[in-house]
């Protein structure tokens, strides 16, 4: 295998995808690690990202294209299949890459990683695809099979969403998940206005625009916001616009005592603290010590002194805190993440139907555990970055049936922007990824009766 410093873009793409498949590593985190480890040149990062994410997003479609050409092949090693996937992805979806370059690189990688026999096999498969063309997806008769293969979503997930949203909406969700996510950030308005930051970033060559949904959001057009001086100085936080709406629904007031029950990596805790203008207290809990460190790092970077982060299972919060001691509680619960598939495409393949059921039970348990800690007339916000009813509407309904002291809070309509009003229903909102190009997100607002 090549020395890591000499590995080119496609070498690194194969290695990255291999680690994701073997170790179930998160694509977004691993990609950054691999870029540093293999010293990928700045000019090549965009192509590497495109190949890795694109191949992951369309993995089941690519396997469908390849299936007919691999029928006679004996057992194929995982890295060979990945090499074929990235090659077919480039042939079908990247017009700007010449086929001769794709073939040459694939054969070279096959020689380095394997032997002459494998390189001949790879060359043969790619030449056959070039000659015969890929299968026509429109000829798949069953509409669910066709949608599943065309958009590379597991059939069980497509079937589930069709039951919840209908076929047409599910098709839009699946198509949206294949699009590249935009980079958005939340401006730390305690330190600088949106307009001032846009002007400052523009002066340093970073192009941004105002966000669509949240008044404190900016959208990156050119340049990486996470690498800016503004980020390191705590003037902005990378966060999706849907996620920014959660703190608005919680609507914290100055000098309140607030619990963020599942807080890592700290995006919502810091937003709450910013909106309280540094007053009051935000208790931020997470199960894992290493994730608590992330919350503390965010708070330090943003110069927020009113966040107190600690490692604690939120299901045991009553052992630490007094009953009715919080004005507001946020449960941004662990979930399947089906709303962020465009950012983490591997979620589609690693999550299973039984995982959703287990998560729904965990979500109910967390809500049940923190409910006694809320003051009378206090607000409880439940949110997830998934679009699955079983983890969202069903969890809230089950909680309300078990806790007659809580009711839905329609004040959600007063704090959310006009653009999303049509999606608010019964004190809750479900944003789908195709509505605004943001992540899919669910937020419910509940109030403890006086």
- How far is residue 371's CA from residue 379's CA, in Å, rounded to a whole number? 10
The rounded distance, in Å, linking the Cα atoms of 267 and 25 is 22
Give the residue numbers marked as catalytic.
Answer: 385
Tell me the two tokens of residue 211.
Answer: 């966000």
The order of strands in the sheet holding 207-210 is 207-210, 217-222, 184-187, 236-238
Question: What are the CB-based long-range contacts (under 8 Å, 24+) for 167-171?
Answer: 167/143, 169/432, 171/147
What spatial distance separates the first Cα and last Cα of the chain, rounded to whole Å?
68
Q: Note the residue count of the chain.
A: 450
Which residue is it, tokens 């001032």? 196
When computed from its CA atoms, the radius of gyration of the chain, rounded to whole angstroms, is 24
- The interaxial angle of helices 155-165 and 143-151, nearest 10 deg, is 120
Pairing of strands 217-222, 184-187: antiparallel
CA 127 centroid distance within chain: 36
């Amino acid at each position: 295998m090549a020395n890591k410093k000499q590995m080119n873009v496609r070498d690194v793409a194969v290695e990255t995808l291999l680690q994701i498949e073997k170790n179930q590593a998160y694509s977004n985190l691993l990609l950054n690690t691999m870029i540093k480890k293999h010293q990928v040149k700045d000019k090549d990062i965009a192509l590497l990202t495109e190949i890795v994410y694109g191949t992951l997003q369309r993995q089941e479609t690519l396997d469908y294209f390849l299936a007919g050409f691999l029928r006679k092949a004996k057992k194929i090693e995982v890295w060979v299949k990945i090499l074929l996937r990235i090659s077919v992805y480039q042939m079908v979806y990247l017009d700007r890459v010449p086929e001769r370059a794709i073939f040459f690189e694939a054969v070279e990688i096959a020689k380095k990683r394997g032997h002459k026999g494998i390189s001949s096999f790879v060359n043969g498969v790619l030449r056959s695809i070039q000659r015969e063309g890929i299968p026509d997806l429109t000829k798949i008769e069953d509409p669910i099979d066709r949608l599943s293969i065309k958009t590379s979503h597991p059939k069980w997930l497509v079937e589930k969403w069709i039951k919840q949203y209908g076929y047409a909406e599910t098709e839009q969700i699946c198509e949206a998940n294949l699009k590249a996510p935009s980079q958005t950030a939340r401006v730390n308005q305690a330190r600088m206005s949106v307009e001032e930051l846009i002007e400052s970033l523009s002066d340093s060559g970073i192009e941004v625009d105002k966000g669509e949904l949240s008044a404190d959001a900016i959208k990156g057009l050119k340049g990486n916001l996470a690498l800016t001086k503004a980020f390191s100085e705590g003037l902005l936080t990378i966060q999706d616009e849907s996620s920014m709406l959660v703190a608005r629904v919680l609507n914290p007031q100055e000098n309140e005592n607030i619990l963020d029950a599942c807080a890592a990596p700290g995006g919502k805790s810091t937003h709450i603290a910013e909106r309280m203008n540094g007053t009051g207290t935000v208790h931020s809990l997470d199960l894992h010590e290493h994730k608590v460190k992330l919350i503390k790092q965010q708070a330090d970077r943003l110069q927020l002194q009113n966040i107190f982060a600690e490692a604690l299972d939120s299901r045991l919060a009553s052992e630490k805190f007094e009953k009715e001691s919080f004005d507001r509680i946020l449960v941004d619960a662990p979930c399947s993440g089906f709303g962020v598939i465009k950012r983490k495409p591997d979620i589609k393949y690693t999550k299973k139907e039984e995982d959703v059921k287990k998560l729904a039970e965990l979500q109910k348990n967390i809500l049940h555990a923190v409910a006694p800690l809320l003051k009378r007339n206090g607000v409880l916000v439940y949110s997830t970055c998934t679009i699955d009813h079983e983890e969202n509407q069903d969890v809230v309904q089950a909680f309300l049936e078990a806790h007659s002291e809580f009711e839905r809070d329609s004040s959600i309509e007063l704090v959310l922007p006009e653009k999303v009003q049509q999606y608010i229903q019964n004190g809750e909102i479900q944003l789908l990824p195709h509505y605004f190009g943001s992540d899919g997100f669910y937020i419910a607002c509940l109030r403890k009766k006086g």
